[in-house]
Structure 1
């Protein structure tokens, strides 16, 4: 079984985002970029499935600028077999990404597509679900456990009430949650081997997909500063303060 894993190049989670002075977006100049953490979990899970003999090949895919090759090389160093970069310098919205992935899925015919549940830069949580709808494949989202069982995959999902297990007929789409696994670090030998692994570069036009944005960002602002707390002398003062604020009224 072949597994396709889409990965995204995002602002590193250890870096504090800075909004541009004109409010048009987040400033990405001269800051550290890395693989989206949820996508890293998806890559790790694909590798583990391959190590168990449930998968034969892992193809990682990214949509973004030329520098996204670094993210793909990281996935190759972790253990993926080959990579595809759909290169564009334009902002690509989730629906356009899903359409590009649909074209790649049709060309690669994987048994399983593993995606991070969301990207930490926009928190859209849409691409996996859109891809499932476009391809007509069953989907399991927010996976905390993935088990391939013959022609099916059992996915344990994290839901508000606890855990839910669904059984999907392959081929299927699965999005990964934080508690699925702990991604490995790429060893130096594997980093060197990754340089010789195949990385194919395509364009959105190659797949016949229009990536023109459908949404317009009006303004990006910093979160509001939290006001300082107030220390009260006793319970009566607390009750009075709550009444003053209208809490419980």
Structure 2
């Protein structure tokens, strides 16, 4: 665009400041109001104060739609940071419920709104499970489990133009699983290597694949803040041989979580 064209565009944008329409935030920092009349792969036809301008899509950082104050926002390119707390429950697959019961869960997300119905970003889940009474007929004891997973996450919004929207999410990444186990032989039993009955403690960690499937509801609170409520299923590959009783033969564990999060859009 020539210097003269830039000056003309700037004048039109300033004149459009009072119009009640979509608000455009350009990558160069300019902000103006206009109404979208047409769209192609590369350009938007935008009416600004009675003039129609062809604006390249790749020059636009974000569009705040007129109905945004009512929560009906579809702002492509916006970013969201979310954090929340909730609860987690170990599932019985491969004996995980013998090593852990219920516990606390924390979740963190950084997402970019890449398409009207799609977000893409990173997610960190952390869980701390309470002690359980696992072991076997010959051993008694407790275990404490900590798990964290870092995932690449994709999220689909069912109703991106509404204040309340159901969503589904999936993630793939890796997990760090640690377990501290305290074991004591039961009455009538002893350790095979020493013949004694003292309490022994084993602490080890395992890393592996992490998979997430989740769904929930997102609520747009204001132009810049949102909340969501999510139920998730977590799959973690582990090396049971490293972790010992009661997961010595396990190749994976599973858990479910419920999270409530608050987010900031920018």
Tell me: higher relative CO, structure 1 or 2? Use CA pairs within 8 A at least 6 residues apart. 1
Instruction: Write 1 or 2 for the structure with the bigger share of strand.
Output: 2
The higher radius of gyration belongs to 2
TM-score by length of 2: 0.19
